Each structure stands twice: as structure tokens, then as C-alpha cells.
Amino acid sequence: MKTAVFSTRSYDECFLKAANQKVGHELHFFEARLTWHTCRLAEGFPAVCVFVNDQLDRPVLEKLAAGGTRLIALRCAGFNNVDLRAAQSLGFTVARVPAYSPHAVAEHTIALVLALIRRLHKAYNRVREGNFNLEGLLGFDLYRKTVGVIGTGKIGSLVAKAFLAGFGCRVLCHDVHPNRELVQLGAEYVRLESLCAESDIITLHCPLLPETYHLINETTVHYMKEGVILINTSRGALVDTRAVIRGLKTGKIGGLGLDVYEEEADLFFEDLSTRIIQDDVFARMLTFPNVIITGHQAFFTQEALEAIAAQTLENISAFEQGLRPPGLIEVEKVLAGQL
């Protein structure tokens, strides 16, 4: 099927081309992000393949529909960037890759926690400069600390299990659908306020929905323990960045590990190293010694990219054959809060 692939980077092209050898779709690769300004590129393509920061709001979807596009194949799990109501009313089929490698994101989450609490980002630079002084590098043991996991689906449950079994932590969870297996392993489900009040480390793994927008805000930060470590590898807008900056300035937040940022669409996946960063909020975060930011790379492993490419093409093949794509997003269920 003729497919316009937006936001293409070399690795997308490489993994999609390799997986496409078996199925033979007509893939056209565009570096541009899909926005109102670039959607003309998709004219005449029955399918578009998009990523996390492509913009599929109503005006873009209307333009795509007018150009003959009928399938939106997301090569990611999250779909907060798609106006599903508009997509439904315009007759689009929307498919995603719901589970490619939850391990990739869970392991990156743990890497951020360990790097922050053992100050690896500082130590790395010091040693390279011949500075072997330990002042300022004091960490703490994870053993017996309390970890709060918000959202215990595929990724959050792996993170919870690693902290329970691997590090001997007490794990508190918060989710609208508790996971019985985690309870049997010793995790406790609690209200959000209790999780915030009791956790030494808080990590976010719920989707971005209207009800989770700015879940971490002035009020939730207020409930948190002094010096809490906060990790977000889920979606940027779960966190009110300004509230978190105020928390960092007072010391209430003792460490921040981010793989996502609410305004990341203008920054991430680009080499901006010779440009001036115009986002003052992001630039302020970079000044803190206890903040580690990675540019939405938690998914970025060999295994995950192979699975994403294979499952994206499977969705396209099924649609082309008039079948239900395995990663179909059932809009009714999402809108009814059942997904």
C-alpha cells in the first residue's frame, strides 16, 4: 500500500525497509513532521505512517481526508497526538503499536533512577577531567525505599516488579485498573495523594488523557516528600513543568529524570546543538545539577525498533486486505475511558 512515512530518521527508514522486504508496501519517506504546513505531502497516499510528535488535529485530518488518506498507522503506542473524535467522524482507521517492547521503556526508567540517585551524570564528567573528588556525589540505597508507580499497565508493571524483586523496595501503585499480579507480589494500590506523600521515588507510566493532563502539578508536588525523585518516561504533559521547576528550586524535588517534555515537539529528534534554544522553561531545567533529560529515547532499542516496524506494516497489510488491523484503536472504547 502506498504509504507516506512522516518524521523519518535514518533508523526508521532502515528498520521499516528491512521489515518491508517480506510485505512489499510502497513506502515514501519524508523527514518532515506532519503538521498543517506539511500535510500536502500526503496527497494521494491512502495511508500515512506517523510518530509521537506528528500533529493529527482536526484541520490536518480534514486535509488528509480530502487528499484520499484513509489509514493512520502510528508507529508508537501513545495516540494523544490524534484527535480521535475528528478521525472517527472523517472515517479514518487509526492503528498503533500497542506493545513493542515495554522492557525498553521500563529499563530506561530504571537507568534514569539509578543515574540520578548515584549522580552518574556528574561523576562521568568529573572523571573525564581527572577530578576524582567524591564531594557532592553522595547517593542513597534503593533497598527498602518506597517507590510510587502511577499507571501499572505493560510498562509500569515491569518497573514495579523490578523495584520489588530486584531492589527490595516497597512499591505503592496508583491506577484506575489495579493489577492483581502486582498485589500478589507485594505492591499496594493507594490513592494518588498517599502515593505522593509516602514515596521516595515517583515514576509515571499512565497515558496522557484529559484526566491525566498535569497530573503532577502544584498540588501533587505539595503532597510529596522533601527530596523526592520524580521520573517521567510516559508523556510530557502529565507534568506541569513550571510547578516542577518551582519544586526543584525549593528542594522539594530532589531529582528529576525526564524522557519526555510537554513542549518537546519543537526540540526532540533534531540536532539543535548549533542553535539557541528558545524555550526558556526547558533551558531553565537544563541548569539544575539534579536533572537528567533524555530526548524521548526510552523506546530506542534494537528489539523495539524491529517490533515497531513489523507491527506497523502488519497494521497496513491488514487494512489493505480489508481486515481488522491488530493494533486498531477502538475509538468508542477510548472515548468511553475503557482503553
Interface residues with ligand NAD (CB under 6 A) are 77-78, 102, 105, 150-156, 174-177, 205-207, 209, 211-212, 233-235, 259-260, 296, 298-299
- Closest contact distance (angstroms) between CB of 294 and ligand NAD is 9
Instruction: Quote the CA–CA distance of 136 and 121 in Å, as a whole number.
Output: 12
Does the annotation mark 222 as catalytic? no
Q: Which three cell numbers stand for residue 13?
A: 527508514
Catalytic residue (one of 25, 96, 264, 314): 264
Judged by CB, which is closer to ligand NAD: 32, or 192? 192
- Closest contact distance (angstroms) between CB of 102 and ligand NAD is 5
Judged by CB, which is closer to ligand NAD: 42, or 240? 240
Judged by CB, which is closer to ligand NAD: 152, or 241? 152
- Closest contact distance (angstroms) between CB of 162 and ligand NAD is 14
Long-range contacts (CB closer than 8 Å, 24 or more residues apart) made by 104-108: 104/298, 104/299, 104/300, 104/301, 104/303, 104/304, 105/155, 105/233, 105/298, 105/299, 106/155, 106/158, 106/159, 106/162, 108/233, 108/259, 108/294, 108/297, 108/298
Q: Which residue has its beta carbon closest to ligand NAD?
A: 153
Judged by CB, which is closer to ligand NAD: 93, or 212? 212
Instruction: Quote the CA–CA distance of 80 and 327 in Å, as a whole number.
Output: 15
Catalytic residue (one of 33, 75, 296, 314): 296
Judged by CB, which is closer to ligand NAD: 47, or 238? 238
- Closest contact distance (angstroms) between CB of 31 and ligand NAD is 20
- Closest contact distance (angstroms) between CB of 45 and ligand NAD is 25
- Closest contact distance (angstroms) between CB of 15 and ligand NAD is 15
Does the annotation mark 25 as catalytic? no
Instruction: Quote the CA–CA distance of 159 and 197 in Å, as a whole number.
Output: 20
Judged by CB, which is closer to ligand NAD: 42, or 95? 95
Judged by CB, which is closer to ligand NAD: 75, or 225? 75
Catalytic residue (one of 174, 205, 235, 314): 235
Shortest CA distance to 243 belongs to which of 214, 265, 204, 267? 214
Amino acid identity for residue 174 in this structure: H
Does the annotation mark 264 as catalytic? yes
- Closest contact distance (angstroms) between CB of 89 and ligand NAD is 24
Question: Annotated catalytic sites, by residue?
Answer: 235, 264, 296
